[in-house]
A and B are shown apart, each in its own frame.
Chain A
Amino acid sequence: GQQVMQIPQYQHVQEGEDFTTYCNSSTTLSNIQWYKQRPGGHPVFLIQLVKSGEVKKQKRLTFQFGEAKKNSSLHITATQTTDVGTYFCAGPWGAQKLVFGQGTRLTINP
């Protein structure tokens, strides 16, 4: 079945440092979605990428979708304590389910 892998599993940074998480799918994706889950909270939608090679920015967050539509990345510039949480990528498997990666947990030293 389809697998969505994320690396790293954990990342600890000093506040102000950059952070990147990578997502790789075993199959080509029609789109990829990114979610953020704060500690004790629920996943919250961040963005969806659809086009091959697409790059989208949300303030300090930059999202990329690979040319082959099998990988994606999320980069945060100059992290802040509000960025703490677990970042998940998710891709549709056929038209029947959304497969989530295992997430990258970001912790920040203020």
Chain B
Amino acid sequence: ETGVTQSPTHLIKTRGQQVTLRCSSQSGHNTVSWYQQALGQGPQFIFQYYREEENGRGNFPPRFSGLQFPNYSSELNVNALELDDSALYLCASSLGVFTDTQYFGPGTRLTVL
């Protein structure tokens, strides 16, 4: 059984740039959620994808967008990067929606300069 993988591990961008983060869900999981974790904080829900459709969204602006592909892998895109976007971005897969256990990937550490 393959766990959740994310790429890249680390990324440095400058303000105003765009970034794409990638996630492969755990085998058999059809739901992917993205979280932003600032230093010293708990993960903050960005959005969830279930069978290629957005299934819920947190309090993040539209410049945070995503996709889920037929193989249930997913992308998180962030446009017009701001300094406050610097954080650990976590992808989590699950068998179903939010009542189910979230299996987290190792995360992508994004630094915006």
A residues near B, CB below 8 A? Answer: 1, 6, 30-31, 33, 35, 41-45, 48, 88, 90, 92-93, 95-103
Contact A42 B106 (CB under 8 A): yes
Produce 1/0 per residue, B31-65, CB < 8 A to A: 00101000011111100100000011111000000
List residues of B (57-77) whose CB comes within 8 Å of A's CBs. Answer: 57-59
Bound form: Cα–Cα A101–B92 in Å? 17
Chain A, interface SS category: strand
Task: Number of B interface residues at 8 Å Cβ cutoff, please give it.
Answer: 26
Contact B42 A97 (CB under 8 A): no
Contact A33 B101 (CB under 8 A): yes
B97 at the interface (CB under 8 A from A): yes
Write the chain A residue with the least CB distance to B42. A100
Contact A92 B99 (CB under 8 A): yes
Bound form: Cα–Cα A20–B25 in Å? 33
Contact A92 B106 (CB under 8 A): no
Given contacts A30-B99, A42-B90, A92-B98, contact A99 B45 (CB under 8 A): yes
